[in-house]
């Protein structure tokens, strides 16, 4: 049984007003336990609206959401359960830090779950070690940390709730390449160690290729595709046509293909490019 499922999910903002917008149209998807799904799509395609449905922050205009096979809107109890099972980390989560110390900020979620002091402390320490938040940082005010450190503290706060499904909205946005890679590695390690299901929203195909097991491509409120990284890149030209940026190396191979050279089109790392060129050489194909 899938851990997360939507059934004809449609969502409209400002229903019945001149500003009515259909942000999600008939979304049907199923995610298995332990997957690391990346959600990509142009700005305004519906990514944030979609993920806010998974822990009941938004209520479908039509359709249903199932977490662990349970319709989350069936009762107050099922909704509360979904809020514990699905941990959502918003875009720019560092703006939501507000406690006096980093420790207290990470402890906020577990405290709300009604855990005892000992459990809270062990969860805070384990989430801190995952995210590279040092003991010294735990005693500081979150406001004395750098932007990248604050981001890690905010993510630790959601991890400390040990959700079955961890969802992060653009966790790398605004970070430099080094900070971005550190966050991506942390997310992958978290999933590999805990076996949790993870969803990450991103607008970078390059980020996604590094960690995802499957890629959900959103386009104008609808699912354009939901497939492995490999298969998603096979249609790299259609990704470009819906406003997504693909790695430079992918563009080079698309251009070679356009010029009639029989290259694979799903090339997205330099290593893949090197072995593809080797293959062509062995077959005696000229690249000029
Ligand atoms: N609070 C809101 N009120 C009205 N319209 C909204 C609101 N949030 C998002 N939208 C609209 O819903 C659509 C999907 O937005 P969003 O889910 O934020 O997309 P993404 O995260 O992919 O950028 C867009 O057309 C956006 O303008
Ligand atoms: Mg968004």
Supply the pLDDT for residue 109. Answer: 93
**Cα(190)–Cα(210) distance, integer angstroms:** 15
Angstrom distance (rounded) from CA 211 to CA 23: 27
Ligand 1 pocket test target in 20, 22, 25, 44 with most atoms within 8 Å of CB: 44
What digits encode the pLDDT tens for the residues 71-100?
999 999 999 999 999 999 999 888 889 899
More confident: 108 or 287 = 108
With beta carbons less than 8 A apart as the criterion, state whether 199 and 168 touch: yes
Write b or e for each residue in 253-264: b if 16 or more Cβ atoms lie within 10 A of its Cβ, otherwise e: bbebbeeeeebb
Hunting for tokens 């405290």 — which residue is that? 111
**45 CB near ligand 1 (under 6 Å):** yes
Q: Which ligand is nearest to the CA of 42?
A: 1
Q: Is 91 in the pocket of ligand 1 (CB under 6 A)?
A: no
CA of 44 to the centre of ligand 1 (A): 5
Q: In the chain, where are the structural domains located?
A: 33-59+71-228, 247-288
How far, in Å, CA of 169 to CA of 88, rounded?
8
Ramachandran category for residue 14: left, alpha or beta (phi over 0 → left; psi -120 to 50 → alpha): left
134-152 confidence digits (pLDDT tens): 999 999 999 999 888 999 9
Q: What's the pLDDT score for residue 265? A: 80
Class at the top of the CATH hierarchy for domain 33-59+71-228 = alpha beta
Rg of the chain (C-alpha set): 21
Report field, pTM of the whole predicted structure over 0.85:
yes
CA-201 nearest atom, ligand 1: 21
Ligand 1 contact via 193 beta carbon (within 6 Å): no
**Angular region, 169: left φ>0, alpha ψ -120 to 50, beta rest:** beta
Instruction: For residues 272-284, give the mean pLDDT.
Output: 91
- Average pLDDT of 171-183? 89
């Amino acid at each position: 049984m899938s851990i997360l499922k939507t059934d004809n999910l449609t969502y409209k903002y400002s229903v019945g007003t001149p500003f009515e917008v259909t942000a999600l149209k008939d979304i049907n998807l199923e995610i298995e336990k332990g997957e690391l799904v990346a959600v990509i799509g142009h700005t305004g395609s519906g990514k944030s609206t979609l993920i806010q449905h998974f822990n009941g922050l938004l209520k479908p205009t039509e359709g249903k959401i199932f977490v662990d096979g349970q319709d989350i809107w069936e009762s107050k109890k099922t909704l509360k359960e979904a809020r514990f099972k699905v941990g959502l980390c918003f875009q720019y989560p560092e703006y939501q830090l507000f406690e006096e110390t980093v420790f207290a900020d990470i402890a906020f979620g577990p405290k709300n779950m009604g855990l005892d002091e000992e459990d809270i402390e062990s969860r805070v320490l384990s989430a801190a070690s995952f995210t590279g938040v040092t003991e010294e940082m735990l005693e500081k005010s979150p406001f004395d940390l750098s932007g990248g450190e604050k981001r890690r503290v905010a993510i630790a706060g959601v991890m400390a709730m040990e959700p079955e499904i961890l969802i992060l909205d653009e966790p790398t946005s605004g970070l430099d390449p080094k900070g971005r890679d550190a966050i991506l590695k942390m997310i992958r390690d978290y999933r590999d160690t805990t076996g949790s299901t993870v969803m990450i929203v991103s607008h970078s195909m390059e980020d996604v290729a590094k960690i995802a097991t499957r890629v959900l491509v959103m386009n104008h409120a609808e699912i354009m595709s939901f497939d492995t990284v490999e298969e998603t890149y096979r249609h790299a030209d259609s990704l470009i046509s819906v406003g997504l940026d693909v790695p430079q190396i992918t563009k080079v191979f698309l251009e070679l293909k356009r010029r009639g050279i029989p290259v694979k089109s799903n090339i997205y790392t330099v290593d893949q490019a090197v072995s593809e060129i080797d293959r062509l050489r062995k077959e005696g194909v000229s690249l000029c």
